[in-house]
Chains A and B, each alone.
Chain A
Amino acid sequence: MLVPLSWLNEFVEIDLPVDQLAEILTMAGLEVTKVVHKGAEWDQEAVVVGEIVEVKPHPNADRLNLAVVDYGRENTMTVVTGAPNLLRVDTGKKVVFATTGARLIDSHSSEKKYLTLKPTKIRGVFSEGMVCSEKELGISDEHQGIIFLDPDAPVGKSLNEYLGDEILELDLTPNLAHALSIRGVARELAALTGKKLKEPATKISAKKLLGTSQDIDISGTSNPAFIKIDIIAKDLCSRYSASLIKHVTVKPSPYWLQYRLRMAGMRPINNVVDITNYCMLEGGQPLHAFDYDKLSGAEIIVRRAHQKEKMTTLDGVTRDLDQDMLLITDGSGPVAIAGVMGGEKTEVGQDTTNVLLESANFNLISIRRTAQKLKLPSEASLRFGRGLDPELTIPTVTHATSLMRDLASEEKNLPGVIDAYPVPVKKKVINLDPDEVKRVLGMEFTSQEISDILQSLQFGCENISWEGKDLIKVTVPSYRLDVSITADLVEEIVRIHGYHRIPTTLMEDSLPPQRFDPALKVEEQLRDILVGCGLTEVISYSLISLEIEALLNPEKQLPDSRAYVKIINPITKDREYLRNNLLSSMLEVLKLNLKHTDRVAAFEIGRSYLPQSEGDLPLEPHLLAIGLTGQIYPSSWKRGTTGEMDFFYLKGVIENLLKNINIRDYTFEPASHPTFNPGRAATLILKGEEVGIIGELSPLVRDNFDLPPGTICLSQLSLGKLVELREPVLFYRSIPRFPSIKQDMALVMDEEIPASRVMEVIRKAGGKLLNDITLFDLYQGEQIPRGQKSLTFSMTYQAKDRNLTDNEVQKIHKRIENQVAISLEAHLRG
C-alpha cells in the first residue's frame, strides 16, 4: 500500500522526519519497505506552476502551438508545444511549466531517461521552456496531453512545494486489515506518537469540498424510494448500504484527486470511479458505482450464483460462475460479482446520469475464493478478502456521496442512504488480567499503563473486579477484527510499548530430558566420513520428472507413475513428481559439473518419497547417494596421473564408511540393476538384508544422460538400514604387546573363484593367530596358465600373550597352504 504523507497528515499531525516515521511504523508491525520523495527531482526554480495567457498557432507547423505562459516572473514566456489537449480556449488554465535547466523524463523514450531542458529552436521558433505532461514529471506514463492543475494552483510556485510529497510504501501482513487505509495508518501513528487523531470534518480540506457529509440524510430505511434491497445470502453479506446521486456529469476528476490516486498507486478513470477509489483508499471500505438507469427494476438482490450462471464483467469477459460466488443482481440477473468486479451492463460511462453507490460488507472467505478462482485480484477484493468492519459502510457511502455531489453532480438534493443490516455485529469485550500480560511478556505492567496503551488505540478500558481479581474490561473497536483474545491484547500492548523495552533474560524453566535421534547422528557422522574421503556434499531438488527417471533405464522406458508422489499443481513439467531415489539427481549433478571439470566426487543425503495407500502420507526413507568420476588424485608434477576412480575405488569408500560407523559383518554380492553395468555392480548385504547398490554406470544409461565417456561410479544406500543394522556399541580392543610376524603367500587358482571366498578359506584355516590378511597383488598373464589368476596375500600373525616362534608361524602357513589346495585347488605360485 502506498501512503502519501500529505494525505496521512490530514488525519494525524506529523512532526517527525519521514525516516523516523518509517521506523516507528516498521517497529510496530507496519513494515515500511520504501520511502519515495515525489518531486525531489523537480528543480525548485525551473519547474513551477504556470498559467496559460494565450494559445497561438505555430507559424510554421500545423500540429504545434505557441503557448504564452505566465510563470510568476516579470515577463511571460512563449514556448512551443505539441500538446493535443491544449486548445485556444484554455486561456487561464494552470499548467506545470518547466524552463531551461529542468531535469525531465524524456517522454519519447520507452525507458526512464532523463533530459535537461535546453533552449531550442523548433520549426523556426525559439523556445526556452515547456508545458509538461505527467510522464515528463515522473507522475505516470501519461504523455498524450499536458497536466491541467486545479484553478487555485498558485502561479509561480515551485511544483515541488505545491505537489511534492513523501510516499510511504507499506507491506502489510494479512492481520492488519484495519490499517489498509490512510485513516487506518493514521490511527496507528496517533497511538505510536501520542498525537490526537484529527476528526473526519477535516479529512478533506475545506477548499476542495463544498459541503460536508452532515448535509446528507442518513436516516437510512426511512427513505427507501430509490431502491429495494433484498439480501438472500445473509451468511455472505452482512450489510448492504446504498445511496443515489442524480444528474451526474461523468468527466475527469479535478487534478488534486487524480494526483492523490496516482500517488497512492491507482489510475484515475473518471470522477465517479475516482471518488469510489478515493474513499476506499482513505477509509478502507470499497465502493461500487452502478449506472442506476441500467438496472432492471429498482431492486438489488444479493444472492449466490446459480450453477452454470454466466455474466459479462466490465472488462468484457464472460465469466463462468459457481454457487460459492456471491452476486449482486437486479430484476433481470447479475450486475456485479460482489466485491470482485462489476458487470458490463451497469457500468458507469459517459452517458450515465444517475449513479447508485454500493457500500457493503461481504464475507471475506467468499470474496477471497472468488477473486482467486476468477484470477481477479484488485484493491477492493484485497480489502474485502482480509475482512472489513460492517460499521464502515455508512460513513464511507456518506462521504463518497457528498464528494460526488460536489465534484460530479448539479443536483444538491440527495435522497439519502439506504441501509440493510439484518444482524448488527456486537462489540467484542475481553476481560484482561494484567497478571497475564506479565506472565507472557516477562515484564511488569500496571493496569494504568495497560489502559493507557489500549486507549491510545481506541480500545475502551474499564477497571472491574471479578472473583476477587482486578481485571480490565476491554471493549474492542469494531474495525479490529484481528483482536479477540487476551494474547491479541498482549501483542497490542507490547508493540506500542516497544519490544526494545522488554528485558532480555535466560530461560529458568526446567530443562526437558535430552534425547537425540540416533539416525540424525549417524547421518551427520556419514557426512563427515565422506567429506574426509574427499567427497563434496550436494543437495538437489526433491522434485523431478518421470522423463528424467526414464533415462535410468537403458530403454528409456517411462517408470510406473504410481511409484511416485505426484504434485497436482507443478510449477514446471520437470518438477512434477517427488523422487523415489537419488540416482537421477546424482547423474544430473555429474553432468552439470562435467561441463567444466573432468573429476567429480559427490554425495547426497536426502529423502525419497514412497506413495502409500489412499489416505496415508508417503514414507520418506533417507538415502545416501554417491557419484564418482575422473582421476583418483589430482595430477601433479611430482606424481603424474594416478588412474581413474572405478568400482574398487567406490568400494573402498563404502568399506571405509562402514568401518567408521562400526559395521564389520557385511558382504557384497553381484547385482543386476538396469542402471548399472551388469558385470560391475554389487549389492551390499548386511545381516542378510540388502542395504543398497554400488557399481559402475551402464554405458547405455551414460549415453541417455549425455554424459561424457569415462567410468562413472554410482551408489545408493538406505540410511535407515545402516542405522538399524550397525553395531550400536563399540568395544575397545587392546593394543598388541607382542610383535607380529608378516609372511606373504602367492596363490594360483581358477580365475572364477571370488577373492572373498579365498580370503574366507584362509581366515578359517589361519585361526585366531592369523590377525590380518591383505590382498596386495592380483596377476593374470603370461607367467601363469590361461584361465587362472594369481592372488598375493600378506598375512600378519600375532598372539596376544607371547612371542610367536618361526616354527609356529610356519605350521599355520602350511595349514593354510593345504587348506586352499583342498578347498579351492589353489597352489603356491612357483
Chain B
Amino acid sequence: MLLEDLRILQQRAENTLDDSDSPEELENWKIKYLGRKGELTHILRGIGSLPKEERSSAGKVSNQVKVALEKIYEEKKRYFDEKQYHDKMMERIDITLPGHPIYQGKLHPSTRILRQIYSIFAPMGFQIFDGPEVETDLYNFELLNMPPHHPARDMWDTFYINKKTLLRTHTSPGQIHAMKYFCPDPIRVILPGKCYRYEAITARSEIMFHQIEGLAVGKSLTMADLKGILVEFAHQMFGDGRKTRFRCSYFPFTEPSVEMDIDCMICKGKGCQICKRTGWLEILGAGIVHPQVLKNGGYDPRVYCGLAFGMGPERIAMLKYGIDDIRHFFSNDLRFLEQFC
C-alpha cells in the first residue's frame, strides 16, 4: 500500500515539476514534495508503523524516490539558473546614452606648470622661497647691479608706487632676499610669483605674469653644473629627446649670462612660425650670479659661486599647449581654463 503511495507520489511529482515555469514555482514544488512538512516526509513518517519485515524494503523504495525527486529538482534548478544568467546577459541598454555628468574642478594652467617646475627642481634640492610683489628699487634694481639710470633698466618697464617703491618686474629680487636670509649657508631655492611690467597688453605681452627664478649658491658650483640642471629640466619638462642649446645673453645680475633654447617641438627644428623660422624656442635665461650681486647678498665671490635661472610659466604653457594669446591666462574664461588636465 505504502509502496503504491510512493509510486503515485513520485509520478505526480514528476508530472507537476514540468509545470513549474519559474524558480519560485520550483521552490514551491520542492516545499510541497521534499520539504520538512512535504508529502514525501508525510509518507515516510508512516514507515514506523509498518510491520517489521516491510519496513526495510519500504525504506529502501522511499529513499529511491527521494533521491530521484531531488535529482530532477537539481536539474530543473540548474536549468532555471542558467536561464537567469542567460536572460540577464541578453538584456540590452542603449550604451550611447550620455554618462552621468560630473563637475571636475581645474587648476589654472599657470599653477599646473609651476607645480611641474617645482616637482622637477625639488629632487635636486630646490625649495620654494617667497618674496614680496611690491618691492623697493633697491632690491629690484640696485642690488641686482643696476644703479639708477643703468641702461639695462630699459629692459624692464616698471610700475611705480613712488620713487623708491615699485611692482617687481621680475622674481630676481628674491635672489637678494634669499641670500640675505640664508647667508652664510649654501642655497638652493626656487622663487615663484607674479611680476608686473608697464606694457601694452597684447597677444604677446601682459602687464602681469608669473616668473620662477632658481638660485643655487655654493663653494663648488660651476657653469657646467648650471648646464646640467637646465638640460635635466628641459628633458623632464619637454621630453627626453629634446635638444638644448645655450646662447650668450645679457642680464645685469649674471655674468656670464646665457639663454637656453630647445629645438622647436612644433616643427621638430625645421623652422616654423612659432619658432620664428629658427628651429629653436627660447625657454629661459640663466647665468653665473654676478660677483657684485653675490657680494650684495653677503657672499664672498672669490669663495662662492652662484647659479641663477629664470623662466615664465605662461610662456612654457603657451609652448606646451600651443596657446597663441597670453591674454587668455588672466581673462579667466572658463572655456579656456577648463581645457587643461
List the A side residues contacting B228 at CB < 8 Å.
504-507
User: Is B151 within 8 A of A387, CB to CB?
Assistant: yes
Contact with B along A490-529 (1 / 0, CB 8 A): 1100110001101111111111111111011000100100
Known: A568-B162, A639-B100. A26 touches B332 (CB 8 A): no
Contacting residue for A33 out of B194, B201, B256, B276, CB 8 A: B276
Interface residues of A in 469-494 (CB under 8 A from B): 485-488, 490-491, 494
Contact of B107 with A by CB under 8 A: yes
- Asked if residues A440 and B218 are in contact (CB atoms below 8 Å), the reply is no
Q: Please, how many angstroms separate the alpha-carbon atoms of A515 and B181 in the complex?
A: 13
Q: Which of B115, B154, B208 contacts A174 (CB 8 A)?
A: B154
The answer to whether A571 and B200 touch (CB under 8 A), given A495-B248, A527-B107, A566-B161, is yes
A636–B103 touching, CB < 8 Å? no
Q: Is the CB of B111 within 8 A of A527?
A: yes
- Min CB distance A488 to B, Å, is 6
- Over the window 581-607 of chain A, the binary record of Cβ atoms lying under 8 Å from chain B Cβ atoms (1 yes, 0 no) is 000000001001100110011100001
Chain B residue contacts of A565, Cβ below 8 A: 134, 161
The answer to whether A487 touches B256, judged by C-beta atoms less than 8 angstroms apart, is yes
Are the CB atoms of A537 and B97 closer together than 8 Å? Answer: no
User: Are the CB atoms of B220 and A508 closer together than 8 Å?
Assistant: yes
Q: Verify if A385 is at the interface (C-beta below 8 Å from B).
A: yes
Task: List B117-149 residues whose CB lies under 8 Å from chain A.
Answer: 124-125, 127-130, 132-136, 148-149
Give the residues in chain B near A487, CB-CB below 8 Å: 255-256, 288, 290-291, 301
Question: Which B residues touch A33, using CB under 8 A?
Answer: 276
Closest B-chain residue to A386, C-beta based?
B151
In the complex, whether A620 has a CB less than 8 A from a CB of chain B is: yes
Give every chain B residue within 8 A of A600 (Cβ-Cβ).
334
Q: Give the chain B neighbours of A509 by CB distance below 8 A.
A: 186, 216, 218-221, 225
Interface readout for A551-592 with B: 1 if CB under 8 Å, 0 if not?
A: 000000000000001111111000100100000000001001
Task: Say yes or no for A618: interface residue by CB 8 A criterion.
Answer: yes
Complex: A541 Cα to B196 Cα, angstroms:
10
- Known A174-B154, A620-B134; judge A593-B332 contact (CB<8 A): yes
Which residues on B sit within 8 Å (CB–CB) of A633?
Answer: 101-103
- Report chain B residues within 8 Å CB of A173: 152, 155, 249-250
**CB of B213 to closest CB in A, whole Å:** 15
Contact B160 A569 (CB under 8 A): yes
A507 pairs with B216, CB closer than 8 A? yes
How far apart sit A639 and B101, CA to CA, in the bound complex (Å)?
Answer: 10
> How far is A514 from B188 in the complex, measured between Cα atoms in Å?
9
Minimal beta-carbon separation of B255 from chain A (angstroms): 4
A536 touches B106 (CB 8 A): yes
Number of A-B residue pairs having CB atoms within 8 Å of each other in the complex? 254
Q: How far is the CA of A51 from the CA of B228 in the complex (A)?
A: 63
Say whether A539 contacts B108, CB under 8 Å: yes
| Cβ contacts under 8 Å, B148 to chain A | 365
A600–B167 alpha-carbon span in the complex (Å):
31
Interfacial residues of chain B within 186-212, with CB under 8 A of chain A in the complex: 186-188, 194, 196, 198-201, 207-208
Q: Which of A399-453 contact B (CB under 8 A)?
A: 439-443
Whether A439 and B222, one on each chain, are in contact in the complex, defined by CB atoms closer than 8 angstroms, is yes
User: Are B107 and A537 within 8 A (Cβ)?
Assistant: yes
Set of chain A residues within 8 Å of B133, measured between Cβ atoms = 542, 607, 609, 620
Residues of A within 8 A of B252 (CB): 175
A542 and B208 contact, CB distance less than 8 A = yes
A535 within 8 Å of B (CB atoms) = yes
Is A736 engaged at the interface, CB distance under 8 Å to the other chain? no
CA distance A513 to B305 in the complex (A): 18
B316 interface residue per 8 A CB criterion: no
**Could you tell me the distance in whole angstroms from the C-beta of B16 to the nearest C-beta in chain A?**
44
Asked if residues B207 and A174 are in contact (CB atoms below 8 Å), the reply is no
| Chain A, range 594-636, C-beta contacts under 8 Å to B | 596-597, 600-602, 607, 609, 617-618, 620, 633-634, 636
Which residues from 13 to 28 on chain A have a C-beta closer than 8 Å to any C-beta of chain B? 26-28
Q: Are B154 and A503 in contact, CB atoms less than 8 angstroms apart?
A: no
Question: What's the minimum C-beta distance from A180 to chain B, rounded to whole angstroms?
Answer: 11
Report the Cα distance A536→B194, complex, angstroms.
Answer: 19
Query: Does B165 lie within 8 Å of A617, measured CB to CB?
Result: yes
Contact indicator B337/A537 (Cβ below 8 Å): yes
Chain A residues with CB under 8 Å of B108's CB are: 537-539
Given A368-B149, A568-B162, A592-B332 in contact, is the A505-B208 Cβ separation under 8 Å? no
Bound: A617/B164 CA distance, A? 10
CA distance A593 to B332 in the complex (A): 8
Contact of A98 with B by CB under 8 A: no
Of B151, B247, B249, B332, which one neighbours A364 at CB under 8 angstroms? B151
- Contact check, B305 vs A27: say whether CB atoms are below 8 A apart: no
Which residues 72-127 of B have a CB within 8 angstroms of A? 97-98, 100-108, 110-111, 115, 124-125, 127
B52 within 8 A of A: no
Complex interface: chain B residues within 8 A of A601 (CB): 103, 105
CA distance A535 to B129 in the complex (A): 27
Contact across chains for A440 and B337 when beta carbons are under 8 A apart: no
**Measured CA separation A566–B218 after assembly (Å):** 40
**Residues in chain B near residue A609, CB distance under 8 A:** 133-134
Enumerate chain A residues within 8 angstroms of B194, measured Cβ to Cβ: 542, 607
For A386, A589, A617, the residue with the greatest tally of chain B CB atoms inside 10 Å of its CB is: A617
A59 on the B face (CB < 8 A): no
Q: Is the CB of A533 within 8 A of B105?
A: yes
State A386–B154 Cα separation when bound (angstroms). Answer: 11
Query: Could you tell me the distance between the alpha carbons of A26 and B108 in the complex, rounded to whole angstroms?
Result: 35
Known: A509-B221, A530-B105, A567-B161. A536 touches B335 (CB 8 A): no
- Contact yes or no, B225 A505, CB < 8 A: yes
Q: Which residues of A lie under 8 Å from residue B258 when comparing CB positions?
A: 499
Q: Does A800 contact B (CB under 8 A)?
A: no
Q: Which of B100, B151, B224, B291 contacts A443 (CB 8 A)?
A: B224
Contact with B110, one of A488, A513, A532, A539 (Cβ below 8 angstroms): A539
Known: A385-B151, A508-B220, A617-B136. A593 touches B333 (CB 8 A): yes
Once the chains are docked, how many angstroms separate the CA of A538 from the CA of B144?
32
**A491 adjacent to B256 (CB under 8 Å):** yes
A388 to chain B, nearest CB (A): 12
Query: Within 8 Å CB of B135, what residues of A?
Result: 617
B257 at the interface (CB under 8 A from A): yes
Inter-chain contact A495/B256, CB cutoff 8 Å: yes
Q: Which one, A27, A490, A618, contacts B247 given CB within 8 A?
A: A27
Are B225 and A506 touching (Cβ within 8 A)?
A: yes
Residues on the B chain within 8 Å of A674, using CB: none
Check B165 against A490 for contact (C-beta < 8 Å): no
**A29 interface residue (CB < 8 Å to B):** yes
Interface flag for A369 (CB, 8 Å): yes
Tell me if B185 is interfacial: C-beta within 8 Å of chain A.
yes
Residue A531 at the B interface, CB < 8 A? yes
Least Cβ–Cβ distance between B252 and chain A, in angstroms: 8
Q: Contact between A503 and B227 (Cβ–Cβ < 8 Å)?
A: yes
* Cα-based distance from A488 to B291 in the complex (angstroms): 10
20 A–B pairs (Cβ distance < 8 Å), ordered by A: A34-B276, A174-B155, A487-B255, A487-B301, A495-B256, A504-B231, A505-B225, A509-B219, A511-B125, A517-B127, A517-B128, A537-B106, A538-B108, A540-B330, A542-B196, A571-B199, A571-B200, A601-B103, A633-B103, A634-B103
Q: A567-B159, A634-B101 are in contact. List 13 more A-B contacts (CB 8 A).
A: A31-B249, A174-B250, A441-B224, A487-B256, A509-B219, A515-B127, A524-B115, A530-B105, A531-B104, A539-B332, A542-B194, A592-B333, A601-B103
Closest 3 CB pairs of A and B: A442-B222, A442-B224, A29-B248
